[in-house]
Amino acid sequence: MNRRTFTRWLGRVGWRHLVALLAVAFSLFPIVFVLSAAVNPLGTLSSTDLFPTGASGNNFRRLFADTAFGRWFGNSLLIAGLASFASVFLSSLAAYAFSRMRFRGRRVGLLSLLLIQMFPQFLAIVAIFLIFSTITDLWPTIGFNTPWGLMLLYLGGALGVNTWLMKGFFDTLPRELDESATMDGASHAQVFFRIMLPLVAPILAVTGLLAFINTINEFLIANVFLTNPEAKTLAVGMYGLVAGERNNNFGIFAAGTLLTAIPTVLVFQLLSRYIVSGLTSGSVKG
Amino acid sequence: MRDTGAGGLLAKALLLGLVAAIAIWAAFPLIAAEAWVGLGILVATTAGLGYLYLGRRHVPAKYLIPGTLFLIAFQIFPVLYTASTAFTNFGDGHRGSKTEAVAAIQASSVVQVPGSIEYAMTVATVGDAATGDLVLLVVDPADGVVYAGDDSGLRELPAGDVTVTDAGKVTAADGFTLLNAGQASARSQEITDLAVPTDDGAIRSIGLSRAYEGVAVRAYDDDCDCVTDTVTGTVWTADDDAGSFVAADGDRLLQGWRVGVGLDNFTRVLTDRSISGPFLGTLVWNFAFAIGSTGGTFILGLLCALALHSDRVRGRNLYRVLLILPYAMPSFAMLLVWRDMFNTDFGLINQFFGLSVDWFGQDWSARLAVIGVQLWLGYPYMFLVATGALQAIPKELTEASSIDGANPWQAFRRVTLPLLLVALTPLLIASFAFNFNNFNAIYLTTEGGPFPADNPSVGATDLLITYTYRLAFGAAGADYGFAAAISIFIFTLVAVISAVSFRRTRQQEEVYA
């Protein structure tokens, strides 16, 4: 390769590799650090370097033996799985109405959805606490320390930015589709379930993933809501690990972090076919 | 045209049956508690749902109602409730009604007098031992009946529900968690403070296993609307504007009640120097943080997306997968890991670069650090959406511009970037709104610090939301009313900014079509 072609290569392709490599390094170094802490036999923060110095499954063993990690994991999966599924369903119903029907209050409804979501739910936590104190007295099954109560609370935020994303996606589908189906005698429910939902699968996947990630990471409300060790989610339980004994529990915490990432990565892999196209086509008018 | 198939009809019948079943299940406790208002709401909601889904009209409502019900119950109602507390002095010392305040004052002034009854006592909680509400289980020495007492009073427990030793120690009680000595001593201050009101005084604990019924020293008198201390003779008169009892020398009793204070909380934000001074600074930093996080992640994500937007790059997919990894990691955990990586003594950052910077100890380095962390957490998302948007731009456009003699930079500036911005503006606004209130980003890393020596209530990296959280739930005691007022400020700010931005982008969105 002579010098001129090299310069050309650098200008066309080389810089791309350089940027990508730097970005990958930036992305990976904290993750490598967590990995190295998780397999660090000593399991303390002060003895952990960027690259693993030894390898042992000790932290993972301690994680399952000394903490209720399995419990938290199950709780988190249950809550995040069901809540994201339900919220995607509720959102898609509303998005269909906003996209395909004309009714009084449609514009106001769309804008207020956006604005209401901007009031952070946790600032209302005092009110939520009082409301749920009453609910716990009346119906303990959906009160404090139950996954069902927390799920209901999360569904309060089901209609929001997600509805907007989906509506944009619905807007890109040609109207001729539902019109011809209606001509053939399909009811609005059949149009929605049989024709629209399969076509909007990409955006359902994306909003599902976003909702799943947000729910897994929700810490504040869950922290107020779940006080029983039995009922805790991953975010609440793992925060407790490093709240006090930070240095000593760091290895266990890192092991837990890696395991917590697994469901998200799996959901991501499962939906990856749709994700890139789904994320933006909703906001572009096709 | 309505011709729902048999399957549709069956699904409809099943769902409506389910709604009816849930309504019936929910009604029983309401009837038992005689909560007629709640029952009315429940009946009306169920009837409304039945009317809506059995009829053929109001099709849009059929699709909007399910989500809206949740929105009203768990978002709008709590928000309105919060907003209404902004006009009151709700907080520590002003939690309940005047009657409750009077009961608390009298109960907490109880002293043991000769002849007070002594009880054997066991400490229990409702729910979790560390956080549940405390209950004193006391055994009447005369007839051995067990009572459960909390701050609302005493109630008798059925003999079948409790197991009592001869010494009067309760060893099991249905519906209560009994505390062992360790658990009880961890909450000893609360146990000492707990006074169970009774007809002629209150029951209080002595240590962790005895209780006595004593006489209240302070008594409330209706005629003068005041509280009198029978030992010292001091008189505290009720001040209904402030919601507390005040003595002639200005001394206030700790237990007050909730009263409306009008716009006091709002004017306090603007006039109190110790608040308005830092408030402006916090507001400016809050904007800087939101813009810096959103803009930084966008630029970095876009740069990576552009770099990988070429068929000539071998290993594109591997690069993509590795880049996106931070997005898949649990953010709450990674924030805590970053906090430890910035640790001065054994943090990875200082070790790796051979520095000894006290990152979270100085204003600017702490601010830089939190934005850096947000960059790492957020740029994979921006990379994803920018990649998608780039693929949606037809190749012909950039080719045409290069035929017209534009260099790659010009083509990007004049063609690609405007098109990208059209597609991504709604996402950027949403990201801005999220970062503006990004509680975790601050609370799990710097906790708002570093704090100036003269004002421990607001730190250099505090966002309005973490500052509000500290006001509402912080160590200095709860001040919900004031926190709610600030919440309304924050909400108004973000809402106005977002509404304006959305109006400006409405020509690109089919919102008003």
Q: Which residue of A has its CA nearest to B491?
A: A119
Residues A286 and A169: their CA atoms lie apart, in Å, by 9
B201 three-state secondary structure: strand
Q: Do B437 and B494 form a contact (C-beta atoms < 8 A)? A: yes
* Exposed / middle / buried, residue B155 (Cβ in 10 Å: 0-12, 13-18, 19+): exposed
Residues B255 and B93: their CA atoms lie apart, in Å, by 5
H/E stretch holding A142 reads none
Residues B260 and A128: their CA atoms lie apart, in Å, by 21
Q: Among B85, B511, B512, pick the best mutation site for testing chain A contact (most A Cβ within 10 A).
A: B511
H/E stretch holding B172 reads strand B170-173
Residues B279 and B458: their CA atoms lie apart, in Å, by 9
| Tens place of pLDDT per residue across chain B (513 aa) | 344 567 778 888 898 899 899 998 988 888 888 888 888 898 999 998 888 888 888 888 889 988 888 888 888 888 888 888 888 888 877 877 888 888 778 777 777 777 778 888 888 888 777 777 888 888 888 788 888 888 888 888 888 888 888 777 888 888 888 888 778 877 888 888 888 888 777 888 888 888 888 777 787 887 888 888 877 878 888 887 778 888 878 777 777 887 888 788 888 877 877 777 777 888 889 999 999 999 999 999 999 999 988 878 888 888 888 898 898 898 989 998 998 888 877 778 887 787 778 888 888 899 999 999 999 999 998 998 888 778 777 778 878 887 888 788 888 888 888 888 877 877 787 788 789 888 889 988 888 878 887 777 788 899 988 888 887 777 667 788 888 888 888 778 777 877 787 677 665 544 433
pLDDT of residue A281: 55
Do the chains contact at A277 and B343, CB–CB below 8 Å? no
Do the chains contact at A138 and B130, CB–CB below 8 Å? no
Do the chains contact at A168 and B472, CB–CB below 8 Å? no
Residues A213 and A192: their CA atoms lie apart, in Å, by 27
Residue A172 neighbours by CB distance under 10 Å: 17
Distance from CA of B322 to the nearest CA of A (A): 6
Residues B139 and B134: their CA atoms lie apart, in Å, by 16
Distance from CA of A217 to the nearest CA of B (A): 6
Distance from CA of B273 to the nearest CA of A (A): 24
Residue A50 neighbours by CB distance under 10 Å: 16
Using a CB–CB cutoff of 8 Å, tell me whether B376 touches chain A. yes
pLDDT of residue B342: 87
Do the chains contact at B63 and A93, CB–CB below 8 Å? yes
Residue B239 neighbours by CB distance under 10 Å: 14
pLDDT of residue B385: 83
Q: Among A100, A123, A238, pick the best mutation site for testing chain B contact (most B Cβ within 10 A).
A: A123
- Would you give the end-to-end CA distance of chain A in angstroms? 45
Q: What angle do CA A132, B468, A225 make, to 5 degrees?
A: 25
Distance from CA of B494 to the nearest CA of A (A): 7
| The token pair that represents B112 in the structure block | 């043991």
Contacts of A30 in chain B (CB under 8 A): 326, 334, 337-338, 341, 376
User: Hey, which residues 333-372 in chain B have their CB within 8 Å of chain A?
Assistant: 333-334, 336-338, 340-341, 343, 345-346, 348, 351-352
Rg of the Cα trace of chain A?
A: 24
Do the chains contact at A30 and B3, CB–CB below 8 Å? no
Q: Which residue of A has its CA nearest to B53?
A: A189
pLDDT of residue B223: 80
Q: Which residue of B has its CA nearest to A18?
A: B307
Do the chains contact at B424 and A253, CB–CB below 8 Å? no
Using a CB–CB cutoff of 8 Å, tell me whether B422 touches chain A. yes
Distances (CA, A) of B113 to B110, B118, B142, B236, B407: 9, 11, 19, 24, 95
Distance from CA of A278 to the nearest CA of B (A): 8
Residues A14 and B470: their CA atoms lie apart, in Å, by 50
Do the chains contact at B5 and A190, CB–CB below 8 Å? yes
User: Which alpha helices (H) appear in B181-272, and where do they start and end?
Assistant: 181-186, 188-193, 264-271
